[in-house]
Amino acid sequence: MSVGAMKDQWYPVGLISGVTEEGRDSLLLGEPIRIFLDGGTPAVTGEGERPLPVELRYGHVWTCPGTPTRPLFDIPEADQLGRRLVDVGVCRVRCSPLRAVENFLDIAHFPFVHTDILGSEPHTEVTRYEVGIREDVDEVWATKVQFFQPQAAKSAEGGITTDYMYRVCAPTCSVLYKTSPPMPGEWDVIALFVQPLTETLCDVWPWMALYDDDASMTDLIHFQQLIFVQDRSVLENQLPALLPLDPGMEIPTRADLTSVAYRRWLKRNGFTYGAQLVAA
């Protein structure tokens, strides 16, 4: 196991609204951390009460166990008026944090894992889309992704072809943009912030910035939790548990171009905590 370059990246470690005076113990990249209120402000310490850098953004407390090589990524939509910001909460998953992100980037599983919600047979085809690394920001981007969905969001009525864009902005964080059913010209934003506890255990903190004035907060949260619990049944049953970065162990197709780019980007950056490098 090598923490390597991932030590210097940003990770979510809890909801800002959930931090208490007493604090909470957790793990980050296998090392113990503590999240607590210090004079009313969220603070994070590592081993030996070493203070770690803290950012408060997108409803979450962010920290970096090493020295941050770049600022926390920007999600400009978080500041747009008219969006509802949804802290979904946490879902603990016994899987590699990298497998959790890869699953989030995947649309081909919708008809089989999220049956009759995000996809349904016979609408299983994944059409060609575009994937690339945006070198200026060093992020993986997939665009022109389209998929037919029976109920794309809590606010959707009936099936629609949904447009998607995907963005990997940190080794364990991804943001997706999808057609907003009530505002077809705008994108809803759904993010998956993954806290790597160990190489095979993570806390997943979904977060959303939606155009939806009707649904109750509870319903929005339940919808996203339902989707993620369905994903968890897959994520905890993949062999091997670690994400294979070298070709040979798994077989991608054209539908998996985002995952292929994500794996290459991880390897190129030395983001290998939770990954398997040599085909077993």
Amino acid at 213: D
* Residue 121 in the binding site for another protein (CB under 8 A): yes
Q: Is residue 180 within 8 Å of residue 195, measured between CB atoms? A: no
Of the ranges 50-58, 72-80, 120-128, 161-169, which one interacts with another protein (CB under 8 A)? Answer: 120-128
Q: Which of 31, 55, 163, 250 binds another protein (CB under 8 A)?
A: 250
Distance CA 224, CA 227 (A): 5
* Residue 27 in the binding site for another protein (CB under 8 A): no
* Residue 108 in the binding site for another protein (CB under 8 A): yes
Chain-centroid distance of CA 201 in Å reads 14
Distance CA 202, CA 207 (A): 16
Tokens of 120: 């349904």
Minimum distance from residue 226 beta carbon to another protein (Å): 17
Ordered DSSP codes for 168-224: EEETTEEEEEEEETTEEEEEEEEEEEEEEEETTEEEEEEEEEE--SSS-HHHHHHHH
Tokens of 103: 């699953």
Minimum distance from residue 277 beta carbon to another protein (Å): 16
Of the ranges 20-28, 82-90, 204-212, 251-259, which one interacts with another protein (CB under 8 A)? Answer: 251-259
* Residue 43 in the binding site for another protein (CB under 8 A): no
Q: Which of 39, 157, 253, 278 binds another protein (CB under 8 A)?
A: 253
Minimum distance from residue 124 beta carbon to another protein (Å): 4
Could you say which residues in the range 133-172 bind another protein, by CB under 8 A? none
Residues of this chain that interact with another protein (CB under 8 A) are 108-109, 111-113, 121-122, 124-126, 233-234, 237-240, 244, 249-255
